[in-house]
Every structure is written in C-alpha cells, then in structure tokens.
Amino acid sequence: MPILQPLPDRLLLGPGPSNAHPSVLEAMSRPLLGHLDPDFLALLDRLKEGLRTLFATRNEMTLPLSATGSAGMEAALVNLLEPGDDIVVGVNGVFGGRMAEVARRAGARVTTVEARWGTSLDPQAMTEAIARVRPRVVSFVHAETSTGVCQPVEEIAARAREQDALVVLDCVTSLAGRPVELDAWQVDAAYSGTQKCLSCPPGLSPVSFSERAIERVQARSRPVQSWYLDLSLLAGYFGGETRVYHHTAPITAIYGLAAGVDRALEEGLPARFRRHDEAARRLVDGLATLGFEPLVEAHERLPMLTSLRLPESVRRQSEANVRARLLTEHGIEVGAGLGPLAGEIWRVGLMGENARPEPVDRLLEALRKLLA
Ligand code: PLP
C-alpha cells in the first residue's frame, strides 16, 4: 500500500498549524532552484525585507531560519548566552517554561519570574528580578499560545535595557496577527513561526537579531555549541553580499513563506490586525451563547488564540470526546488545555486566513449540533 493515502480536509482552529492559503501551496509546488541560484538569492533578499516589515525593524540579520519556532527560540538563546551567564525568564505558560529549559541546557543560570497561567507577567516583578540579577538576557513570550495571554512588551524591555541586558521575545503566535515592533520596543532577538498568522505550513522560523545582539555573538569567549544555529555561520549564507554554503536552504518552504508574507503585506498590517480582532470578538460573543467563558481578561486577551472555560454541556460529555467529534464529524480541530489547564479549557485559534467570520460560524454551527 502506498504510504501516502487520501487525507481529510480539516478546518484548523487549534493553536497551530492554521490552514495554509492556496497561494502558499501553489508557491510550494513551483520548480526547485538551487540554494545558490541568483534567482533564489534575489527571492531570499526580498523575503528578508518583507520579514523586516512584519517585525517593524531595520535589523540586517532578519531571516527565515530552517526549522520550526522552537529552533528560533534555541537560536536566540544559545547565541546570546554563554555557560554561567545569567538570564531572567518570564514564565506564565508552556513557552516561557520552554525558554527557561533551553537556557538551562545552554549552561545559563536561570531566574524565572512566574505569573499565574492565564495572566500576564507583572512588570514590577520582572523589574525587581532584573535589578537584582543584572542578567545578560531577559526573555519572555509576547503571545502565550498555551493560555491566550498577550504580554505588554515595552516596559519590561525598557527596564532590561537600563541594566544593559539583551531582550529576547517569542513572537511565534503574534507575528502578522498583532503589532510586533522590534525597533520601537528595543527588542534584541525575536523569533516566530510560519504555521500561525502567516498561514504557511510549519517548518521555518523567521528570526531577527539587533546590532547589539550581533556584537554580543561576536564578543563570545567560546563558539556557540550548536553548529547549525550559530549566527556567525548562518550570516555567511543569509547575510551580507557574498553567499556561501552553510546548509541547504529549504527552497520550497521558503517559496511558501514568500507567498504568505506577500499576502500579509498586500492586505496591509493594520487591516490584518483589525481582522484578527473582529474574528475574535465574533468567536467570544458566539461561544458565550453556548456557555463558554474566556479564561483571560479582555485587556490582555490575544485575538488569534482564545482560551475558553468549558460549559457544563461539554464537561458532561467529556471535553476530549466533544473535541474528537468536532474533528471526525465536522472536520474542525480545536486545541485542548495544557498543564494546569488540561481538561479545563479549550484553545481556539483564528490565525491568518482563518481569522474570518466563516470559520467562526462553522465552529458555532457544529458546536450547536453537538451540544444540543
Ligand atoms: N513559542 C510559542 C508561543 C508557540 O506557540 C510555539 C508553538 O506552538 C513555539 C514557541 C514552538 O514553535 P514550534 O512548535 O513551531 O517549534
């Protein structure tokens, strides 16, 4: 039997991946070029410029890293940290916790500042930890996909800068769905993913590093322990004028990302952010009529990922069972709660192309049937 069999068509309303747009899939079926072909390199340059617009930065080292968002996280931390360096990590969900673990494995001394899942980090608590530890790096998550919380960035980043710390920001779920302003916020390293608000398949991590971050990498006393993620080696292929082989760039995935970024820029970022906000409002209002309550207070709620406490009508049937029926009977995926929120919430993603009225209405219609 062939390995590849017919696959179902799903509406992906979980925490990611979201559905890829047909223009992205069409781009991915175009003929391969070599990774040093001048036409491909010209596309790569245009893509880097497009990513700078999405991140609102002039950072030269802005590029599509050849692996998923976790590799972007790892690249930011292993390049900026040396064994024995201090880092302060804000943890209010799974991905802050992952940052702390990556930093620990890089040999850093990790101080975590925790906040209850479903709430944002307290800038005062972060400020105190930064003043006490005087860390090399301060890192936290802009859009915590495990809870649906949006973290205000500016104040924490400013306090970090006052102590001469570098700021690392996780923008995996926020990029192209909410304003991300690396230069205005003075963020030194940021990473994202392609499978969320860019509506591309998973596989790449757009990353951006400031001049200060690059200087830190150049001043390291020992090489980055990851050869693959070493920025000074990646720069040989992705940066500057001359292009030398480092690893074979994932050509097809880069075509797809180029199409995804084109769509975002053609739509215009303000309109795109508005569309995400409107879709989230429609979702929350619609689900309220079925008894779902948002986990996160309105002022710190993400539009592209909504966490919802489950009504009795769902709990009665077992939430896993309702999710399974949504998938198999209606072709709709939504996400379960993680960690302390497992069994307590669902996570509904309206990311990129799915942040529109039709997917919301399809979910509401399916749930009305299942919970009748
Ligand atoms: N950070 C956040 C906020 C995420 O939502 C995710 C993935 O969902 C990641 C990091 C890791 O990205 P990936 O799963 O693409 O490695």
Query: Is 2 among the domain residues?
Result: no
**Domain co-membership, 255 together with 285:** no
Q: Is 199 left (phi over 0), alpha (psi -120 to 50) or beta?
A: left
Q: Among 248, 224, 227, which residue's Cα sits nearest to residue 237?
A: 248
Residue 142 CA: nearest ligand 1 atom is 3
CA of 342 to the centre of ligand 1 (A): 18
Query: Is 257 among the domain residues?
Result: yes
**Domain co-membership, 361 together with 293:** yes
Q: What is the pTM of this model?
A: 0.98
Q: Which two tokens stand for residue 247?
A: 């690893």
Crossing angle of the two packed helices 123-133 and 154-162, in degrees rounded to 10: 20
> Helix or strand or coil: residue 202?
coil
Residue 42: domain span? 22-265
pLDDT for position 269:
98
- pLDDT tens across 107-148, in order? 999 999 999 999 999 999 999 999 999 999 999 999 999 999
Q: Within 13 A of 364's CA, how many CA atoms are on the CB side?
A: 18
> Helix or strand or coil: residue 118?
coil
Order across the sheet with 137-141: list the strands: 61-65, 205-209, 189-191, 166-170, 137-141, 86-91, 109-114
CA of 189 to the centre of ligand 1 (A): 16
- Pick from 12, 98, 173, 192 the residue to mutate for probing ligand 1's pocket: most ligand atoms within 8 Å of its CB: 173
End residue of a domain, out of 232, 265, 298:
265
Query: Is 5 among the domain residues?
Result: no
Cα separation, 32 vs 54, whole angstroms: 26
The mean pLDDT of 163-188, rounded to a whole number, is: 98
Taking all residues of the chain, what is their mean pLDDT, rounded to a whole number? 98
Query: Is 247 among the domain residues?
Result: yes
pLDDT of 241 higher than 80:
no
pLDDT of 225 higher than 90:
yes
CA of 39 to the centre of ligand 1 (A): 31
What are the C-alpha distances in Å from 261 to residues 164, 227, 296? 33, 28, 29
Q: Which two tokens stand for residue 102?
A: 């990556």
User: Is the separation of the CB atoms in 103 and 139 below 8 Å?
Assistant: yes
**Residue 72's pLDDT band (boundaries 50, 70, 90)?**
very high
**Ordered alpha helix ranges (H), 115-250:** 123-133, 154-162, 182-185, 211-218, 231-238
**Domain co-membership, 244 together with 103:** yes
332: domain CATH number?
A: 3.90.1150.10
CA of 172 to the centre of ligand 1 (A): 6
pLDDT for position 239:
86
**Domain co-membership, 226 together with 239:** yes
- Pick from 120, 149, 172 the residue to mutate for probing ligand 1's pocket: most ligand atoms within 8 Å of its CB: 172
> Position 158: which residue type?
A
Q: Closest residue (by CA) to atom 2 of ligand 1? A: 172
Query: Is 139 among the domain residues?
Result: yes
- pLDDT tens across 84-99, in order? 999 999 999 999 999 9
User: Cβ of 125: how many Cβ atoms within 10 Å?
Assistant: 14
Residue 73 CA: nearest ligand 1 atom is 10
The C-alpha angle with vertex 244 and arms to 238 and 248, in degrees rounded to 5, equals 75
CA of 145 to the centre of ligand 1 (A): 8
Q: Which two tokens stand for residue 342?
A: 């497992």
- Pick from 145, 197, 198, 338 the residue to mutate for probing ligand 1's pocket: most ligand atoms within 8 Å of its CB: 145
Q: How many domains does the chain have?
A: 2
Cα separation, 104 vs 353, whole angstroms: 36
190: domain CATH number?
A: 3.40.640.10
**Domain co-membership, 256 together with 281:** no
What residues flank ligand 1, with Cβ below 6 Å?
Answer: 15-16, 68-70, 73, 95, 141, 143, 145, 170, 172-173, 193, 202
pLDDT-above-70 percentage for the chain: 100
Cα separation, 135 vs 113, whole angstroms: 13
- pLDDT tens across 258-287, in order? 999 999 999 999 999 999 999 999 999 999
Residue 195 CA: nearest ligand 1 atom is 15
Query: Is 4 among the domain residues?
Result: no
End residue of a domain, out of 225, 243, 265:
265
**Domain co-membership, 279 together with 154:** no
**Domain co-membership, 214 together with 158:** yes
Query: Is 359 among the domain residues?
Result: yes
User: Is the separation of the CB atoms in 219 and 271 below 8 Å?
Assistant: no
pLDDT for position 240:
74
pLDDT for position 29:
98
Query: Is 260 among the domain residues?
Result: yes
**Domain co-membership, 147 together with 220:** yes
End residue of a domain, out of 265, 299, 317:
265
**Domain co-membership, 292 together with 323:** yes
**Domain co-membership, 231 together with 91:** yes
Q: Closest residue (by CA) to atom 5 of ligand 1? A: 145
- pLDDT tens across 282-303, in order? 999 999 999 999 999 999 999 9
pLDDT for position 242:
80
